[in-house]
């Protein structure tokens, strides 16, 4: 039998706090979502001033990153480069930059999805959160 690492509640709190700190340091009103490796929601924070739709988009980005085991930007880039048929991929709804998988020793532990500012800034916040784990 194989063993795999999983996110603990303490890990989720660290990620959320670091991501929130990054957003606040830049005055960015966003929603921050953290999911497990199956894309199931573990945490959702909608900061003051974040658009209501961001609470739908952030978890979708996180789920896409977790299930695909890669940044959600990869799918956005594929579509933008003309592979429009990829928009019909089942289950993947957040094919926009801002979803980042949490990887450790080649294993996906989950993902962080952020929505509310420019996509590259969303990804910056997600990566800041993941960095708090020191992987």
Residues 24-78 have pLDDT tens digits of: 999 999 999 999 999 999 999 999 999 999 999 999 999 999 999 999 999 989 9
The reply to whether 28 falls in a domain is yes
The reply to whether 13 falls in a domain is yes
The reply to whether 26 falls in a domain is yes
The reply to whether 20 falls in a domain is yes
How far apart CA 75 and CA 133 sit, in angstroms, is 26
Radius of gyration of the chain (CA): 14
The reply to whether 4 falls in a domain is no
Share of the chain above pLDDT 90, in %: 82
Please count the structural domains in the chain.
Answer: 1
How far apart CA 12 and CA 69 sit, in angstroms, is 18
Whole-model pTM: value is 0.95
CA-based nearest residue to 3, from 71, 91, 82, 104: 104
Contact in structure between 62 and 127 (CB atoms under 8 Å)? no
- For the beta carbon of residue 40, count every other beta carbon within 10 angstroms: 12
Residue ranges making up the domain that contains 126: 9-131
Contact in structure between 117 and 69 (CB atoms under 8 Å)? no
Q: Which pLDDT score, from 0 to 100, does residue 93 have? A: 86
The reply to whether 2 falls in a domain is no
Q: Which pLDDT score, from 0 to 100, does residue 15 have? A: 98
Q: Which pLDDT score, from 0 to 100, does residue 12 have? A: 98
- For the beta carbon of residue 51, count every other beta carbon within 10 angstroms: 14
Mean pLDDT for the stretch of residues 103-115: 96
The reply to whether 3 falls in a domain is no
Asked whether the predicted pLDDT for residue 86 surpasses 80, the reply is: no
Q: Which pLDDT score, from 0 to 100, does residue 94 have? A: 87
**Three-state SS at 131:** helix
The reply to whether 47 falls in a domain is yes
Question: Greatest CA separation found in the chain?
Answer: 47
Asked whether the predicted pLDDT for residue 92 surpasses 90, the reply is: no
**DSSP class of 122:** H
CATH code at 45? 3.30.450.150
């Amino acid at each position: 039998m194989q063993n795999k690492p999983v996110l603990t509640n303490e890990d989720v709190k660290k990620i959320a706090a670091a991501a929130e700190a990054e957003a606040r340091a830049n005055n960015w009103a966003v929603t921050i979502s953290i999911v497990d490796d199956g894309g199931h929601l573990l945490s959702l924070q909608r900061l003051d001033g974040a658009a209501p739709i961001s609470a739908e988009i952030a978890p979708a980005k996180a789920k896409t990153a977790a299930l695909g085991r890669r940044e959600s930007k990869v799918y956005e880039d594929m579509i933008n480069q003309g592979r429009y048929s990829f928009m019909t991929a089942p289950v993947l709804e957040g094919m926009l930059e801002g979803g980042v998988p949490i990887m450790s020793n080649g294993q996906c532990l989950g993902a962080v999805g952020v929505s509310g500012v420019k996509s590259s800034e969303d990804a910056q916040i997600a990566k800041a959160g993941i960095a708090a784990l020191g992987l």
